[in-house]
Homo-oligomer: A and B are copies of this chain.
Amino acid sequence: MTEHLRAHLQTAQEPAIFHFGSAMRDLTEGDWLALNNLPVLHRFVGRGRTLLREGDPVSRLRVVCKGWAVRSCRIDDERRQILDFILPGDIVGLHVDGHGASLADIEALTPCEVGEIEMKAVERLAIQSPGVASGLQDILVRHLAQSNDHLVRLGRMNAYERVCGFLSDIYTRQKDHSPGPVDFPITQTIVADALGLSVVHVNRQVMQLRREGLVTLNRRQLTITDPDRLADASGFRDRKFSHNRTTYLAAE
């Protein structure tokens, strides 16, 4: 398939399908055509609303086409853990238990546009198309890599390193499209719940980073002065993790 044709196919379609297919590697022209036949249900979710609740049966795969969301577990009234951040183009609905029930809540950080695709239909497609089947596996494996990084962060990094690594990650995941500042629709409370810290302590680390001139950030935007230095400060030796792993698709 020529590059030209591929580009045409990729841009010609439904955004949800485009993102879904783009997350896979080595799709053939036929795979793309088949993907395009998948029916997509559109939904809009307001900020703060729950897209999917823990324990809900997941029969549809969700592609978040616009907006940000988080996947989080509530432990009790005063504790919750944010498991990952969902950026535009990310896919939701793969974290399920043995009965197909969601392992966590998905909550919109900003208004979201979501495309929903029947899991059954995707599975049928995967049977016919090896490219889609292995693409699904790619997506799952990438989630595993992300969990890995987060586990190391929570288990063995101190507060300063956690914040550095987190900001570095969020930065790198968006860096492909635009130089300069990136979106950051995240409160410090959210950061705290993601990093297993208290809000107050997150704030102290952020203040520290500002004093050191490493970052500029507010509720809207994040600017990183020296990405390499920030990544170094995140504790992962030679930036191997956040650079090659969480964002390893972008690296190709």
Contacts and interface: CB of A to CB of B under 8 A. Distances in A.
Interface of A: 73, 75-76, 79-81, 83, 94-99, 103-104, 123, 126-127, 130, 133-134, 136-137, 140-145, 147-148, 150-152, 154-157, 194-196, 235-237, 244-245, 248-249, 251-252
A156 B196 contact: yes
Contacts of A123: 134
7 contacts: A75-B235, A80-B156, A95-B145, A98-B244, A103-B148, A127-B130, A154-B155
- Copy tally for this chain in the complex stands at 2
Nearest to A131: B127
Contacts of A83: 148, 151-152
A81 B140 contact: no
Given A75-B236, A133-B127, A141 B96 contact: yes
A150 B152 contact: no
Nearest to A127: B130
